[in-house]
Structure 1
C-alpha cells in the first residue's frame, strides 16, 4: 500500500508512533470485518463480534479525552484508522468513524456533560445527527425537547445520543442553535435505514418525546463555529480544532478505504481473467485494463492527498490554537468533497475494468460500489455546494450558502 507522507509540520515522533500502532491494530481487524461484511449487510447492523474486536483494539476511543482513558488522537490518525477498517467493511468503518466524531464533539462540552457521558462508564459510545429537533422549550435548568434525528449512524451500538436543537424567541426567531447530549435510555430508535448501500451502519432515526436536557448538556454551534467551546481544558489540543472543518473530515476515511479495497481487488483478480469476446486470456495484459488501473490508482492517490492535506490544516490549527480564516476553512470542505469524489470515480472505473462480474452477489466489489455511492451523497460532502463555498471565499464574496464553514 502507498505510504502518504503529508502531515502537519508539528507532528511529533510519539504521535506518529501511536498512529502507526493504531493503524496496525485496524489492519489486523480487516480479515474479521471482511468475513462479517455479508452478515453486517444482511442484518443491517454490525455484529457484536466486530464491535467487541474494535473496542478491544481501542479504536472507539480515538477521539475521547485522555481524562477518561481515551487516546485523544489527531484527525490524520482517525483518517488512517478508519481507512483500514473500510478495507474490510465500509458500513463498519462508517459507523465507527461517525461515533468517534461524536466523541470529538463531546470533548467540546463543559466538564459536567463529559462526566455524564463517561464518568461511570468510559466505554460509552455516542451517535446522533446535527439537524435541529422539531420542538425545544426552554425550562428551568435546561430544555424540554421533542423531535427526530435521522441518519444517526452507529445508534444501535451507542449508549448516548447527540442531536441538534434551535432556541427560538417568542416571535419564532432563532436566538441560538446547537447540540444536546441525551442518554439512549431517554430516546427510542425508529427503524428507518432501508437503503441499497452502507446497509450495516444502522443509521436509523433517534426519537425524543418531551425529554428534559439539563443546560450543561447544550453546546452552542453558533459559538463553536467561532471556536468558542464549553470545555475548560484549553490545553487539550484536539478540542481546539476548527469546528466544522473537523466534523467534515470524519466522513472521508471510509471512502479512502473503500477505494483502496476496490483497487487491491481488481489488481489481484486481473491476472488470468479473460476479457470475453477478445483475444485477451489475461486482462492484465490488455492496455485497456492497464490504463484503467493506472488512472484509478492516481484517483485513489489524489483522494488520500486531499484528505490528508485537510487533516494537516485542521490538526495544525488545533496545535497552534488558532482559528483559520474563512478561505482556509472553505478549502478544507472543498478538499474533503474532492477527496470523496475522486474515491467514487476510482471505484466506478475499477468496477468497469473488472467487468460484469463486479456485480455478482458474491463479489465484494458490488458492495464497495454501493457503499460508496450511498455514503458519497452525504450532504457535508456535496461537491457543488462545497465548490460554491470555496469559490465565494476565493473571490472575497460573502459566504451565504451555509454558516457551517
Structure 2
C-alpha cells in the first residue's frame, strides 16, 4: 500500500513537470493527457480509494500536502487532481453494487461530481430518467463516469451516476482563469439511471450512507461540504506559494526602466517581500489548521456549529488568499501581465478559484452571524 510519504514525494517529483506544462495546459483549455496519466501512475488519483478496492485509503492531511505541492506548479492541474481524489471518496458513498461497477474495473474512477441540483429527475420503474445540463464539470474531459444532481418531483435533492458515454460534453469552457481545467457543461438527454446508482442528496450532505457502512474508516462518512472545503483549500495555499516563488524571481531580477535602480537593493522591496512571505505562510498555517480541524471532526462528528465554523474558515482563507495574490501582482510590475509570465497565470487562476460558490465570503459571514443570533441556516452549502 502506498504510504503518505511516498505520495507526497511523488507529487514533488511531478512539480517541475506540471510547471513546465502550465502554459500548454491553459492553451489546451483542458487537462494535459500526460498529466492525467502521471497522476494515475503516481497513485495520486487513487489515494482516497478504500483499501477494499486496492486504494491507499490515505487521509486529508496527506491530500492537503499532495494537492498543495501540485498547485505550486499548475493551479488548473491541481484542481482536477483534487477533484479526482475527493470524488473517489464520494463514489464510496454509493450503494455496494454501484461501487463494484465504478471501482471494479481498475480500482478507481475519474468522476466529475456536479452537486448543484440542475437536472430534471423523473422516477420510473427501477430508477430514474434524467435530463438537463450541469455546468462546472471539472474532470469531465478525462472522465469514465459522471455524477449529476437534480430535484425529484417531491423537491428532494438527489445525485445520479452514469457512464460518461451517456452524456454530451458541451465545449463552453472559455475562462480567463482556470482555463486548463476544461470544466465544460455536462448535458444529459433522457438517460435512465438505475436506483442503485443514485444517492439521496440529504444523505450526501449529512455524510453516512448505506455505502459507507462497508468501511470502518470514518473518513468515508464525512459530509459533502466539509469534504469539498478540504479538497479545494490546498489548491489555494499551493497556488499562492507558486505565485510567491514567481514573485521572488521577479524581484530578484527586476531593474526599473527609467531610473535603472535594482529593485532588490531598495528598502521598499525588502518590506514588500517580507509582507508577501509572511502573508503566504499565514495562509498556509490557516489552511493546515482547517484540515486538522476537519480531520478531528471526522472522528467525533460534525455539529451544525462545526459546519458553519468550517464554512467561515474556508471563506476567510479564500478572501485572504485573493488579497495576498492581488498585492503580489500589484507589486510585480506591468511587464508581468504578459502571457509568458507565470505570475499572471497564478493571479488569474486564484482570482477564479476564490470566486467559487462554496466559499463565498458574503454568504459565509452571514451564516456565522445568523448562528450567533440564534437564527436558522438560510443557505444549502453548509
Superposition TM-score, scaled by structure 2 size: 0.95
**1:227 and 2:201 equivalent?**
no
Please report how far the alpha carbon of residue 252 of structure 1 lies from its aligned counterpart in structure 2 after TM superposition: 1.5
> Does the Cα contact within 8 Å between 2:208 and 2:222 map onto a contact in 1?
no
CA offset at residue 239 of structure 1? 0.6
The residue number in structure 2 matching 1:11 is none
Structure 1 unmatched ranges of 5 or more: 1-13
| Residue of 130, 134, 140 corresponding to 1:145 | 130
TM-aligned CA distance change 1:387 to 1:190, over 3 Å:
same
CA contact (8 A) 2:119 2:149 kept: no
Q: What count of residue pairs does the alignment treat as equivalent?
A: 381
How far 1:123 moved relative to its partner? Answer: 4.1
Residues 308-356 of structure 1: CA deviation (Å, up to 9, x unaligned): 22211221222x2x32221111111111111122222222111122211
SS at match of 1:126: coil
Which of 226, 229, 236 lines up with 1:255 in the alignment?
Answer: 236
Partner of 1:64: 49
Residue 226 and residue 272 in structure 1: after superposition, are their counterparts in 2 closer, same or farther (change >3 A)? closer
Task: Give the one of 91, 94, 104 matched to 2:79.
Answer: 94
Task: After superposing the two structures, state which structure 1 stretch, 128-137 or 144-153, moved more.
Answer: 128-137
State the shift of 1:100 in Å. 1.7
1:140-180 alpha-carbon deviations (Å, 9 max, x no partner): 111010011111111101100011121123xxxx1x21211
Q: C-alpha separation between the residues in 2 aligned to 1:91 and 1:201?
A: 5
Question: Is 1:198 the counterpart of 2:178 in the alignment?
Answer: yes
Q: Following TM superposition, by how much is the alpha carbon of 1:382 offset from its aligned partner in structure 2, in angstroms?
A: 0.8
Cα distance in structure 1, aligned partners of 2:103 and 2:358 = 28
Distance 1:108 1:123, change over 3 A: closer
My pick for the range that moved more, 21-30 or 235-244, is 235-244
Specify the alignment match of 1:371 in structure 2. Answer: 349
Q: 2:181 and 2:253 mapped to 1: Cα distance?
A: 35
Please state if 1:350 is matched with 2:328: yes
Structure 1 position 178 matched with structure 2 position 155: no
2:256 paired with 1:300: no
Q: Helix, strand or coil: the match of 1:270?
A: helix
CA displacement at 1:392 relative to structure 2? 2.0
Tell me the distance in 1 between the aligned counterparts of 2:338 and 2:326: 15
Match 1:124 to one of 109, 113, 125: 109
Name the SS for the 1:108 alignment partner. Answer: coil
Contact persistence 1:302–1:342 (CA under 8 A)? no
CA distance in 1, matches of 2:349, 2:241: 13
Deviation at 1:234, TM superposition (A): 4.0
What is residue 381 of structure 2 aligned with on the other side? 404
Q: Does 1:211 align with 2:208?
A: no
Match of 2:169 among 170, 189, 194: 189
Aligned equivalent of 2:318: 340
CA contact (8 A) 1:304 1:339 kept: no
Task: Report the equivalent of 1:7.
Answer: none
The 2-side partners of 1:88 and 1:272 are apart by 21
Mapped partners of 1:134, 1:18: distance in 2: 39
Unaligned 5+ segments in structure 2 are none
Partner Cα distance (1:393, 1:254) in 2: 29
Inter-partner Cα distance in structure 2 for 1:239 and 1:264: 35
**Residue pair 2:241, 2:280 contacting (<8 A) in 1 also:** yes
CA distance in 2, matches of 1:226, 1:351: 40
2:151 corresponds, among 125, 145, 166, to 166
Contact kept in structure 1, 2:50 and 2:92, CA below 8 Å: yes
Aligned residue number for residue 98 of structure 2: 113
| TM-score (norm. length: structure 1) | 0.89
* Structure 1 residue 214: Cα displacement: 0.9
Q: Distance in 2 between matches of 1:258 and 1:161?
A: 27
Kindly state the Cα deviation for residue 89 of structure 1 after the two structures are TM-superposed: 0.8
Question: Counterpart in 1 of 2:293?
Answer: 313
TM-superposed deviation, 1:277: 3.8
Q: Kindly tell me: are residues 289 and 240 of structure 1, through their superposed partners in 2, closer, same or farther at Cα, counting changes over 3 Å?
A: same
Contact 1:292–1:349 (8 Å) recurs in 2: no
1:287 paired residue among 267, 270, 275: 267
